[in-house]
Amino acid sequence: MHTLNVDLGARSYPIHIGAGLIDCAERIAPHLRTRKAAIVTNEVVGPLYLERLCTGLARAGIEAIPIILPDGETHKEWQTLNTIFDALLRGRCERSTTLIALGGGVVGDIAGFAAACYQRGMPFIQVPTTLLAQVDSSVGGKTAINHPQGKNMIGAFYQPRLVLADTATLATLPEREFSAGLAEVIKYGLIRDTGFFDWLEQNIDALRTLDAGALAWAIERSCRNKAEIVAADETEQGERALLNLGHTFGHAIETGLGYGQWLHGEAVAAGTMMAAELSRRLGWIGDGEIARIERLLKRAGLPTQGPALGAPRYLELMAYDKKVEAGKLRFVLLRGIGQAVMTGDVEMGDVSAAIEARCQ
């Protein structure tokens, strides 16, 4: 097991990474304030891992209240959030009761937001079971639900007390979801870690065949990058926004097609190519970099072209992006592999051209 720390002063917390951690309730127990925990999961992950988690907790004398959500991004909304609140009240959960999120990014985002709001905030633990959640969404305290007009539009910055990433759970992850997680792994290489990008070019096949050593290393390096950025800029006043490489375009794809059509990581991959193409048009990177990025994403099993919504529709959807400031869109772009920057100084004609160049 490897342990990293997210350094946020009094709200610092550990990330444990290792195979079989889901059975190690003794890692969770010290973080609980009472002998009761609510576990939010979904109808796909629940049958696989809920019993094992509950068994361990019971052994530690902790009563677990399971809350099973429907599966999928379409359910990341008010109604599902309310079913969590209803279940917490029914189970007599108090503001000192801990809520555990067991699942992927959708479960973590909505359960985290529920924890942030229930009785104005209850303790919260992340047990991510997808690659995307283990390398990205479970770390850093971003929680949210979607609004019909904008992805992650309603939410809170609310940090967990612990992240417990069991790498063995990735064995049950559908290949498409695993690839989607790789989009966020590759992102760290692109925005700030050239060495990691080089390593990924050497090891992407090993990752896709779930080589345990490669997997553990990639997850740890991703979490280390994420933890450093979050510690430096918890509420995204600056540097943290770089983590949104490909996300402005990607959110437009997700919202435009309707939530759940493309996986988040797939939309981010296509969005990353759009951001790279826009960077190329500004003369910041060349054809060589474009080719390397595209090749790695393809080898990861990811799309490198977005759906054909038309550039005007993309721009319309992007106007609701959270990075808009004074009516102006801001973009995370690349000055090289491993060097992302934020800029608002972009001609809309170039943005449209970049989108068109990267649409099916």
Q: Is 187 a catalytic residue?
A: no
**Binding window for a copy of itself (CB under 8 A); candidates: 44-52, 150-158, 177-185, 249-257:** 150-158
Angle between helices 311-318 and 247-257 (to 10 degrees): 110
The residue (of 3 and 96) whose beta carbon lies closer to a copy of itself is: 96
**Binding window for a copy of itself (CB under 8 A); candidates: 57-65, 118-126, 219-227, 292-300:** 118-126
Q: Which amino acid is at 98?
A: T
Q: Is 228 a catalytic residue?
A: no
Q: Is 2 a catalytic residue?
A: no
Cα torsion for 13, 268, 190, 158, to the nearest 10°?
A: -20
The residue (of 12 and 235) whose beta carbon lies closer to a copy of itself is: 235
What span, in angstroms and rounded, lies between the C-alpha atoms of 250 and 244? 9
Q: Which uninterrupted H or E stretch holds 200?
A: helix 194-208
What span, in angstroms and rounded, lies between the C-alpha atoms of 28 and 142? 21
The residue (of 209 and 237) whose beta carbon lies closer to a copy of itself is: 237
- Least distance to a copy of itself from the beta carbon of 21, Å? 28
Q: What is the distance in angstroms between the CA of the first residue and the CA of the last residue of the chain? A: 43
- Least distance to a copy of itself from the beta carbon of 250, Å? 17
Contact between 10 and a copy of itself (CB under 8 A)? Answer: no
Cα torsion for 226, 231, 236, 242, to the nearest 10°?
A: -40
Q: Catalytic residue among 244, 266, 294, 330, which?
A: 244
- Least distance to a copy of itself from the beta carbon of 20, Å? 32
What span, in angstroms and rounded, lies between the C-alpha atoms of 20 and 111? 23
Burial category of 48 from C-beta neighbours within 10 Å (exposed 0-12, middle 13-18, buried 19 and up)? middle
Interface residue with a copy of itself among 18, 46, 56, 155 (CB under 8 A) is 155
Residues annotated as catalytic are 120, 142, 184, 226, 236, 240, 244, 247, 251, 264
Q: Which residues of this protein are in contact with a copy of itself, per CB under 8 A?
A: 34, 78, 82, 85, 89, 92, 94-96, 116-121, 142, 144, 147, 149-150, 152-157, 235, 319-320, 322, 324-327
